[in-house]
Amino acid sequence: MSTILITGANRGIGLELVRQYAGLGWKVLATARDPAGATELVALARADPKIIIEKLDVTDHAGVDALALKLKDQPLDVLLSNAGKTPRYTSAMQGAGTIDYEQALHSYKVNALGPAKLVSAFLPLVQKSGQKKIAVISSKAGSFVEGPPMSMMYEYRASKAALNMIVHTLGFETAKMGVVIAAISPGSVATRPVEGELGYGTNTRQAYTISPAESVAAIIKVIASLTPDQNGVFLDYKDGRVIPW
């Protein structure tokens, strides 16, 4: 049985990734910051013993190391970094004058340094596996070429551009280890905000959005067809084409 570890698995794209990978027969290590409050994930795990929930905040580096140690004998065919701080707060939608610098630093910690720490801690477990793949959910918002030509989401865009550079740089390391790492854009996905988050900027009102199910089905195909020569690239969920930085 193939095994995948998915971060941010309690809602949105992460929860759908759990649902679909488990449906395909994978063992799924589904991580959440607050497993007790992860109602939908807990319900999935109750119905399917292949889904195992672990507690993980990607900004808690000691916690990341502790989970990697706990799972040290578990080969990971796919390590999937999905957790992200999405731009659902007022300053994200306004001009540079309203940047919330605390939010910006936190976005960098969650979206860029979090995946870097995750990969460095779990790389030995990926190396032990059959498939040896790492997928990092990024965003076109972090692309200079294909990001929206608008002055918004400074914190988020900068954190995802930094993430893209981290994935690109990690690719040189993973290539030597027989592991492939790629960043993937999930498309514009209608995931729901939770209490305390703003409703706009969530894509839920935009006509061109796709469902989490549609995005995830395509992401799974892109991951399945990853090859070692794709190390350190940024791919589109839709067809696996390379997105320019």
Ligand X SMILES: NC(=O)c1ccc[n+]([C@@H]2O[C@H](COP(=O)([O-])OP(=O)(O)OC[C@H]3O[C@@H](n4cnc5c(N)ncnc54)[C@H](OP(=O)(O)O)[C@@H]3O)[C@@H](O)[C@H]2O)c1
Contact status: 201 vs ligand X (CB under 6 A): no
Is there binding between residue 10 and ligand X (CB under 6 A)?
A: yes
Least Å distance, CB 154 to ligand X, is 15
Cβ proximity to ligand X, 44 vs 110, nearer residue: 110
Based on CB atoms, which residue is closest to ligand X, 177 or 198? Answer: 198
Which residue of 3, 164, 174, 191 would you call a contact of ligand X, by CB under 6 A?
191
Please state the closest distance from residue 130 (CB atom) to ligand X, in A.
Answer: 26
The nearer residue to ligand X, 186 or 232, going by C-beta atoms, is 186
Is 59 an interacting residue with respect to ligand X (CB under 6 A)? yes
Answer for which of 48, 54, 57, 173 binds ligand X (CB under 6 A) is 57
Residue from 14, 63, 201, 232 in contact with ligand X (CB under 6 A): 14
Q: How big is the site for ligand X, counted in residues (CB under 6 A)?
A: 26
The residue within the footprint of ligand X, chosen from 3, 4, 12, 17 (CB under 6 A), is 12
CB of 168 to ligand X, least distance (A): 17
Q: Which amino acid is at 144?
A: F
Own/partner long-range contacts of 46-53 (Cβ < 8 Å, ≥24 apart): 48/22, 50/1, 50/22, 50/25, 50/26, 51/18, 51/22, 52/27, 52/28, 53/9
Q: Which of the residues 90 through 149 are near ligand X (CB under 6 A)?
A: 110, 137, 139
Site for ligand X, rule CB under 6 A = 7-8, 10-14, 33-34, 56-59, 82-86, 110, 137, 139, 186, 188-189, 191, 203
